[in-house]
Chain A
Amino acid sequence: MATSADALLRVEDLRTYFELDAGTLRAVDGVSFTLSSGRVLCIVGESGSGKSATALSIMRLIDPPGRIVGGRVLFKEQDLTRLSEREMETLRGNRIGMVFQNPMTSLDPSFRIGEQIAETLITHERIAQAEARRRATDLLRLVGIPDAERRYDDYPHQFSGGMRQRVLIAAAIACKPDVLIADEPTTALDVTIQAQILRLLADLQRRLGSAMVLITHDLGVVAAMADDVLVMYAGRVVELADVDTIFHAPKHPYTWGLLQSLVRLEDSRDTPLQPIAGAPPNLIDLPPGCPFRPRCSHAVERCATDEPPLRAIGNGHQVACHLAATL
């Protein structure tokens, strides 16, 4: 696990709240983690757990009624929450690259594929048109677009979903970012295409030596890609450890529940299904105590009153559970 010395990105007690008519929705509520260069950190959780809001907060892309209300995001020791919007723009897409789930909404339908990548290069590196075109074509080739010179002039609608996602990845890595943030980059893709895109991301990350934050709800993707895993529930980090520990020695009852509820390829018709009872909580009226308590089969009295803090239990493993030492 990362020590603070080689930390590239350090998130400390990040809080992002949304002021809604119904009350304050605490989408991200005290998230901390460290990412060092060359590592892949997967953030896993269900819808509403705050994983995407965490990524958007790091990029400062939270729109009202959402707001970062506390905490720090240290990128190379510079606090991103304190930068002006203009300073942020020079970092975004340059030092920190982003890939989102839906490639159709992230690409401008009225611009040629190649130009969208060249644009990023021109903005951030102030290079000439011809040079930008040459490098954008190289990037298209690098991400596996066949016949890249010709396809440079195509429009997004002429590309398949997998090819569009490759284009977005090319744009995200154009300036060789230090950190790549990918939010469900393969969720909309077919499984054979998903494998291609994940391999591409892993190869590029290794080649560029950059660090990656990969957000996914798919534990199969986590197992394939992660060095470290952060499990989120109700806007909080409930467990953080290296990938092998998360899958083979998890300590939080929610992480166990997630792993047990998985339908695995080797399951037969007789394998019992073990769902987690209940549903994720409403983040507006969160009761006191541990947010997972209503669904937890191990809960004891104090779980209803005291919220367990995230505690280190050795080897970089952190758990937010009162029973972590005994379970």
Chain B
Amino acid sequence: MTQPLLQVTDLTKAFPVKGRAFFGRAAPTLKAVDGISFTLTCGETLGLVGESGCGKSTTARLILRLVEPTGGSIQLDGRDLLGCAGEELRALRREMQIVFQDPLSSLNPRMSVGTNLAEPLRFHRVGTRRERRDEARRMLEVVGLQPHEFDRFPHELSGGQCQRLAIARALVLKPKLIIFDEPVSALDVSIRAQILKLLLDLQQRFGLTYIFISHDLSVVKRVSDRIAVMYLGRVVEIADSARLHAEPHHPYTRSLLQAIPLPDPRLKRIGDYALLEGDLPSPANPPSGCRFHTRCVHRMPRCSAEEPQLREVAAGHLASCFLYQ
């Protein structure tokens, strides 16, 4: 088997919350990401789905070391990402880029489109000024923007064009891994498909590896090879994306799939939806045992007492639920 591009093992991030250590009890923390593990091979897309507070965006920031983990390890191309610093970290960071939901958050509003594109190259001291501008022009074309947009400013672009620019900026350093955090969620339906198409074309063309984060399971399924479903800081199921849709095992994955409104009134009207009970518990105070037990229709006595581990239910398909253990 080939060496994975990315290997995440037991990754944990505990944020301190209000309160303090008390008689030997540890200070209270919020475990946004609580011991997650996965691998990613070259050219693959892993989808991360889950609802607010599940830890999917924190996971992205941990991998990029925008947030420092409190535990676990991350290996990129066999190198220990958490162990390196300085020049070495800077070099590794060139190989990973992120595209956010709001493209303006990663663009400098006072810089022209062209300067925005050349900026990462300047920061990493790549090429001459001239070469950087040429590369920026080339990237503009790669993502489907017109040459005359080069001298415009981000606020003069439409939402879809802005997202193209953010993608170009992520690409300009020729990274191996790109993380997309809700890249099409703010876009209109008609533009959404344009951007998804672009992402898939770029992946083919440059042999990129993607992590695709979204709350929209339809979109994640369309672009991902495998999908990891997260709930309150844990991965509860991970499988090939077609298989996850056809044979979801974890009751949370099933509820998530059933809650998606299908765009066909002949298939499903609102009365036909099987509703998941209750609210999402607070990640600061997750339920005991299986974190999903408070909303689960299959809960058994042991579910509130013990936490199920992620186990293989079929080849390459893992789920953490006592129904299968």
Q: Which residues of A contact B (CB under 8 A)?
A: 46-47, 160-163, 190-196, 198-199, 202, 217-226, 243-244, 247-248, 257-259, 261-269, 271, 273-277, 279-280
Q: Is the CB of B275 within 8 A of A280?
A: no
Query: Contact partner of A263 among B161, B192, B275, B280, CB < 8 A?
Result: B192
Complex: A259 Cα to B275 Cα, angstroms: 26
Which A residues lie within 8 Å of B267 (CB)? Answer: 223
Q: Is the CB of B218 within 8 A of A274?
A: no
Q: Is the CB of A192 within 8 A of B218?
A: no
Q: Is the CB of B263 within 8 A of A219?
A: yes
Which A residues lie within 8 Å of B67 (CB)? Answer: none
Query: Contact partner of A46 among B190, B222, B242, B260, CB < 8 A?
Result: B190
Report the interface size for chain B: residues with CB under 8 A from the other chain: 50
Q: Is the CB of B189 within 8 A of A223?
A: no
Per-position 1/0 for B247-277, Cβ under 8 A of A: 0000000011111111111111111010110
Cβ of A204 to closest chain B Cβ, rounded Å: 12
Within 8 Å of chain A (Cβ to Cβ): is B88? no
Q: Is the CB of B276 within 8 A of A192?
A: yes
Query: With A190-B280, A192-B276 as given contacts, are A275 and B190 in contact (CB-CB < 8 Å)?
Result: yes
Cβ of A178 to closest chain B Cβ, rounded Å: 21
Within 8 Å of chain A (Cβ to Cβ): is B105? no
Query: With A193-B279, A198-B270 as given contacts, are A279 and B191 in contact (CB-CB < 8 Å)?
Result: yes
Which A residues lie within 8 Å of B197 (CB)? Answer: 273, 275
Q: Is the CB of B275 within 8 A of A196?
A: yes
10 residue pairs of the A-B complex, CB under 8 angstroms, read A196-B276, A223-B269, A224-B268, A243-B265, A247-B265, A261-B192, A261-B193, A264-B262, A279-B160, A279-B161
Within 8 Å of chain A (Cβ to Cβ): is B194? yes
Per-position 1/0 for B194-223, Cβ under 8 A of A: 101100100000000000000111110111
Complex: A190 Cα to B256 Cα, angstroms: 10
Q: Is the CB of A220 within 8 A of B261?
A: yes
Cβ of B96 to closest chain A Cβ, rounded Å: 23
> Taking CB as reference atom, which chain B residue is nearest A259?
B263
Q: Is the CB of A258 within 8 A of B265?
A: no
Which B residues lie within 8 Å of A221 (CB)? Answer: 261
Q: Is the CB of A195 within 8 A of B259?
A: yes
* Majority DSSP secondary structure for residues of B touching A: helix
Q: Is the CB of A265 within 8 A of B218?
A: yes
> Taking CB as reference atom, which chain A residue is nearest B194?
A275
Q: Is the CB of B190 within 8 A of A199?
A: no
Query: Contact partner of B189 among A46, A160, A247, A269, CB < 8 A?
Result: A46
Which B residues lie within 8 Å of A273 (CB)? Answer: 193, 196-197, 200, 222
Per-position 1/0 for B274-291, Cβ under 8 A of A: 011001100000000000
> Taking CB as reference atom, which chain B residue is nearest A267?
B222
Query: With A199-B275, A202-B270 as given contacts, are A269 and B222 in contact (CB-CB < 8 Å)?
Result: yes
Interface-central residue, A199, A259, A263, A277, by most chain B CB under 10 Å: A263
Complex: A281 Cα to B77 Cα, angstroms: 45
Q: Is the CB of B259 within 8 A of A46?
A: no
Q: Is the CB of B218 within 8 A of A263?
A: yes
Which A residues lie within 8 Å of B160 (CB)? Answer: 279
> Taking CB as reference atom, which chain A residue is nearest B223?
A269
Q: Is the CB of A190 within 8 A of B269?
A: no
Complex: A223 Cα to B257 Cα, angstroms: 16
Complex: A79 Cα to B188 Cα, angstroms: 34
Query: Contact partner of B225 among A161, A192, A269, CB < 8 A?
Result: A269
Query: Contact partner of B259 among A191, A243, A261, A264, CB < 8 A?
Result: A191
Interface-central residue, A162, A243, A267, A279, by most chain B CB under 10 Å: A279
Q: Is the CB of B266 within 8 A of A195?
A: no
Query: Contact partner of A190 among B52, B221, B257, B273, CB < 8 A?
Result: B52
Closest CB pairs A-B (n = 5): A220-B261, A275-B193, A190-B51, A46-B188, A276-B190
Q: Is the CB of A263 within 8 A of B222?
A: yes
Within 8 Å of chain A (Cβ to Cβ): is B158? yes
Within 8 Å of chain A (Cβ to Cβ): is B245? yes
Complex: A257 Cα to B190 Cα, angstroms: 7
Query: Contact partner of A268 among B159, B192, B215, B242, CB < 8 A?
Result: B242
Query: Contact partner of A191 among B51, B189, B223, B266, CB < 8 A?
Result: B51
Cβ of A55 to closest chain B Cβ, rounded Å: 18
Cβ of A248 to closest chain B Cβ, rounded Å: 7
Per-position 1/0 for B171-202, Cβ under 8 A of A: 00000000000000000111111101100100
Which B residues lie within 8 Å of A280 (CB)? Answer: 188, 190
